[in-house]
Structure 1
Amino acid sequence: MSTLTFLGAVGEVTGSRYLIEVEGGDRTYRLLLECGLHQGGRQADAANAVPFGALAKQLDAVVLSHGHLDHAGLLPKLVREGYDGPIHCTRGTRDLLDIMLEDAAFIMAKDVEWENKRRQRSGRPLAEPLYALEDVERTLALCKSHGYGQPIELPGGVSLVFHDAGHILGSGIVELAVPSAGLTKRLVFSGDLGNPSSVLMKDPARLYDADVVLMESTYGDRDHRPLEETLEEFAQVLEEAHASGGNVLIPAFAVGRTQEILYHLSVLYHEGRLRQQMVFLDSPMAIKVTELYHRARKSLDAEDLKVLNIAASGDTSQYLPILRMTRTVEESMAINRIHGGAIIIAGAGMCTGGRIVHHFRYNLEKANTRLVIVGFQAAGTLGRQLVDGAERVRVLGQELEVRAKVHTIGGFSAHAGQSQLIGWAGAFRERPRLYLVHGEPQTQQALKSALAESGIEAFIPAYGERIEL
């Protein structure tokens, strides 16, 4: 009998990890589905530091749905601890991992360097990063990339197919055919399902046959606002910021959300509705990803690209003429001499570090600043504190009063909303066993109840729970 064990993204949105064990003859084959980083404060840091133990050398293969760090960010740690087998992913995911993991290792090294200065002063043992650049290089060398719809044979007689999840470049719905007790059981993992209203990505594929389904539930308690209303709200915030003379800060995830925001700013610019004269993309990683999206534009939604007249020629010279990409630290610091009239897009998306927190120091205490939150903020993050209305926050060791006006615009989400999740789950014939993952407890309960009203039974697994396939 083959089994699946829930090792992450249960009762939380991040830290995706599931172990599949297949009995085959005289041995057990072990496949790891996802290897994600936990995000959201000290508790997450502690979870990331837990060793993989014997599992790192017992695994026969790893399968990834997509390149976001909460799904793939611990891969180099797994390799550092002894894993040397194949890592299966889509082509777009492989390209993104090259950027994402290198950036993560660089940030970790900087954070540890800063932490060890403190530890040296107090005589405490020095810290080590979860992994280093050499671990990233070894990880990338293990990646095997595949196209959508292409069957891949895995150890233990398991078959894998990726389907387009419509979330970010290369994102996949994972379909696994797993031998179990003389039968073949079909396991489908949604990965992160895209929001059909989002630009650039194609709509998520719908699957119809499965025995077991793992479905994300990040926004399982609500639907997103219609895109037209969201764009009007966004345009109004930008107009108010212009009128007040302040800057607009947008903490944006480097993959997906940044490219979507740039798309909408470009449309507003060409419609003559963007009053600001400077847009800064202040994130080296987001710049690299944006350039990757341009190179991979054949994978994007052609209808959306037609709006910008770049689908065929690829000419982006007039995409957003006022956009300035700031790669160096010096260029980033220079932005803080601008006291108004700028839109500053910077990472990290949950405000847990990166260049956005430096811009907070110069802008968060100004009443004419507009802070626009366009993505999910995990519990325990600085972004979540700001969304929840914190009047004071601690940034880079400094206490700041939040005088800026905070706008949460959820309609830009790259995740499916409640109705879309129910529709995706309802497409399966024969009512497979459905497990909700990647969601906070209250959100999952809300989705479970909504699914029940549609005649779909769902289960909420616990950490370490093991099920038979």
Structure 2
Amino acid sequence: MGEIELEVTSPSWGLTRTEGRPWNFPELHFNIGLPALQGHGLGVHVTNLNPDPDIGATSWLVECDGHRLLLDAGTHPQREGRESLPMYDRVGEAGVDAIALSHCHHDHVGSLPVALRHSPTAHVFMTDLSYFIVERVLHNSVNVMLRQREELGIREYPLFTHEEVDDYASVFQGISFRKEIEWVSFPRGRRGTSPTLEFFDAGHTLGSAGIRVRGRKQTLFFTGDVCFHDQTLLRAARFDGVKADVLIMETTRGNRSLDPGFSRKAEVSRLGDAIDSVLAAKGSVLIPAFGLGRTQEILAELAVWMRAGRWKPRPVHIGGLGRVFTEIYDLQAHRTNRSHPKLRLTEALDLKVLPPRELAQVKLADGKLFVLTAGMMSENTAAHDLAIRMIEDPKHAIFFVGYAAPESPAGRLRMSSQGERFIFSGSAGELTRRCRMEAFDLTAHANRDDLLDFVGQVDPKVVILGHGDGASREWFVHSIRSRWPQIRVLQPAPGATEVG
């Protein structure tokens, strides 16, 4: 018999009824097979709360042994207002027992206070390294939303306040890697058995983790965003020995194969040579990068090169948030699995924070280096506004070192051709690309073949694919089914639930 679709929840499934009226079935779709109907708590239920089938607001609702856990609470990087939020209405009035965060990028943590409104008694677990970062990320989000309310007229903003961030911080708990903990708190006088969770170093950015959830009968593993190769600072993920019945896996690079001769070392060398040539011609270089992770990895390369005498000492202009996270990288270097453990970026480099008010006046003709927060070059960011000044000048260069969504300003610039007019953004309109533009594959995401090998290591019964576009997910569907036909491969639509 084929699968059947139910729209139900119960006290632990979410089913509600007003006195004297029929049962109310919320819009929560469970695409489940018959074995899951044989008894409550016998399967792991996973609901995709991301409102976009591709990369968006990462959030997964996991139901295990009758308890409920939220994995991540992101915001969609290409949507504004409430449309950027996960589908928290699918959680229902019952809320969740706990929230576990894989890392502190906005698409994984940016709506945490909103999630806590839906589940005010939930505790929030993250790695102890993420604990040093999360409040700064959330307070910065409030500042950005307040500015966008004024500049863009988005009246829904802010979606949460500084006061809420401060109030909720009391339930944040930092946990060491490889320490298994229970995540359900029982009321006084009530005894019960809690499922457990455990963080594994994911190597993606400072504090990033894969998360193992262990129940009475089944185990689930969530990769979060993972990197299986060494970066300049952070070393590769440590997922050794992970086994699970259900694997929720990112698929960011499923649509990209590596050339047979590719090496990260050669790509780093190519970036250095490109910077050399621009500086020699008295041009300036802009590297747009995410404030947490990409910025520090690029600064580390610049520090190594300058220490080796490749260029004469010169300031590196960065954003304020990038500076904050760089200081945290330095302070936590001794607790991080990384290369260059004694390298302190704030000491090795002359870092200059570029205030927005000085952006229009800064001179570009004497060979400056900019590593500015906003990898997507979103409007009303320093990277976006500086790019407007550089795009039409052939002396300057804009170098990309990470992912850029195709519909973002950064994505449009990357797809443009030399001498072509293109729409950079709504506020900038059409520009003619005359600057030098190159992309360097210095990703902090796992390459697809490494992720495929990881599936073989985990040996799951079910793989749930997320955090990738349609082509990326389909590559994994085909590849997993070809190598392991016994594994169920699922792509839950926004709001849909699957049972492991």
| TM-score of the aligned structures, taking structure 1 as reference length | 0.86
Aligned to 2:134: 97
Q: Choose from 373, 385, 388 the match for 1:347.
A: 373
Moved more, 437-446 or 15-24: 15-24
Question: Any idea what the Cα deviations from partners look like across 1:440-460, whole Å, max 9, x if unmatched?
Answer: 001111233333444364333
Report the Cα distance in structure 2 between the residues aligned to 1:337 and 1:16, rounded to whole angstroms: 40
> What's the counterpart of residue 71 of structure 2?
33
**Which residue of 1 is the match for residue 466 of structure 2?**
437
Distance in 2 of aligned mates of 1:135 and 1:267: 41
Q: Secondary structure at the match of 2:310?
A: coil
Residue 52 (structure 2) pairs with residue 13 (structure 1):
no
* Residue 138 (structure 1) aligns with: 167
Instruction: Check 1:142–1:239 CA distance in 2 against 1; reply closer, same or farther (3 A cut).
Output: same
Aligned equivalents of 1:187 and 1:244: distance in 2?
54
| Aligned 8 A contact 1:56 1:78 in 2 | no
How far did 1:315 drift? Answer: 9.0
Q: Aligned runs of 1:240-251 on 2, under 5 Å?
A: 240-251=277-288
Q: 1:351 to 1:84 in 2, by over 3 A?
A: farther
The Cα shift of 1:76 comes to: 1.6
Please tell me whether the aligned partners of residues 10 and 461 of structure 1 are also in contact (alpha carbons under 8 angstroms).
Answer: no
CA gap 1:221/1:397 in 2 versus in 1, 3 angstroms = closer
Whether 1:228 aligns to 2:265 is yes
**2:51 & 2:238 partners in 1: Cα distance?**
22
> 1-side partners of 2:396 and 2:480: how far apart?
41
**1:122 matched to which residue of 2?**
none
Which residue among 319, 323, 331 is the counterpart of 1:287? 323
Q: Pick closer, same or farther for the CA change 1:434–1:350 going to 2, 3 Å.
A: same
1-structure distance, mates of 2:147, 2:85: 17
1:44-83, aligned counterparts within 5 Å? 46-48=83-85, 52=89, 55=92, 58-80=95-117, 83=120
Following superposition, the deviation at residue 81 of structure 1 comes to 5.2
- SS for the counterpart of 2:402 is coil
SS in 2 for 1:5: strand
Deviations 1:350-406 (A, max 9, x none): 111421112122212111221111111124211111122273234472323222222
Query: What TM-score, normalized to structure 2?
Result: 0.81
Shift of 1:424: 1.7
Asked if 1:366 corresponds to 2:407, the answer is: no
Paired residue for 2:247, among 203, 213, 217? 213
Task: Report if aligned partners of 1:235, 1:273 keep a CA contact under 8 Å in 2.
Answer: no
Whether the 8 Å contact between 2:283 and 2:365 is mirrored in structure 1 is yes
Tell me the alpha carbon deviations over residues 287-317 of structure 1, each in whole angstroms, 9 at most, x when there is no partner: 0000000000013345x215xxx26xx6963
Greater CA drift, 52-61 or 248-257: 52-61
The answer on whether the counterparts of 1:239 and 1:275 sit within 8 Å (CA) in structure 2 is no
**1:4 corresponds to which of 38, 46, 55:** 46
Deviation at 1:98, TM superposition (A): 1.7
Q: Could you tell me which amino acid in structure 1 is paired with residue 382 of structure 2?
A: R
Aligned AA (2:220): L
RMSD over equivalenced CA pairs, Å: 2.5
Aligned partner of 1:203 among 191, 214, 236: 236
CA–CA distance in structure 1, aligned partners of residues 119 and 222 of structure 2: 26
Between the aligned partners of 1:51 and 1:275, the Cα distance in structure 2 is 52
Whole-angstrom CA distance in 1 between matches of 2:409 and 2:423: 8
Q: By how many angstroms is 1:104 displaced?
A: 1.0
**Contact 1:34 1:64 (C-alpha < 8 Å) held by counterparts:** yes
What CA distance in whole angstroms lies between the structure 1 residues aligned with 2:356 and 2:495?
43
Deviation at 1:178, TM superposition (A): 2.2
Matched with 1:123 is none
**Quick one: which amino acid aligns to residue 60 of structure 2?**
Y
SS of the equivalent of 1:111 reads helix
Per-residue CA deviation, residues 125-158 of structure 1 (Å, 9 max, x unaligned), is x443212211222232221111011111122621
Whether 1:380 aligns to 2:407 is yes
Higher helix share: 1
8 Å contact from structure 2 (residues 202, 226) kept in 1: yes
Instruction: Measure, in 1, the Cα distance between the counterparts of 2:321 and 2:453.
Output: 34
Superposition deviation, residue 324 in structure 1: 2.5
Distance 1:20 1:99 in 2: 27
- Residue identity matched to 2:384: V
* Inter-partner Cα distance in structure 2 for 1:230 and 1:419: 19
Amino acid paired to 1:11: P
- What do the CA deviations read for 1:17-51 (whole angstroms, capped 9, x no partner)? 11122454xxxx32211111111246x86242866
Corresponding residue number in structure 1 for 2:436: 405
Q: Does structure 1 residue 258 correspond to structure 2 residue 295? A: yes
Q: In structure 2, the residue corresponding to 1:427 is in which secondary structure?
A: helix
Aligned residues: 439
Greater Rg by CA? 2
Q: Within 2, Cα distance between the matches of 1:265 and 1:35?
A: 33
Deviation at 1:185, TM superposition (A): 0.5
Change (3 A) 1:425 1:51: closer
Shift of the alpha carbon at 1:160? 0.6
- Give the letter aligned to residue 324 of structure 2: K
Any stretches of 5+ residues in structure 2 without a counterpart? Answer: 1-40, 185-192
Name the structure, 1 or 2, with higher relative contact order (CA <8 Å, separation 6+). 1
Amino acid paired to 1:222? R
C-alpha distance in 1, partners of 2:162/2:465? 34
Contact between 1:253 and 1:348, CA under 8 Å: does it hold in 2?
A: yes
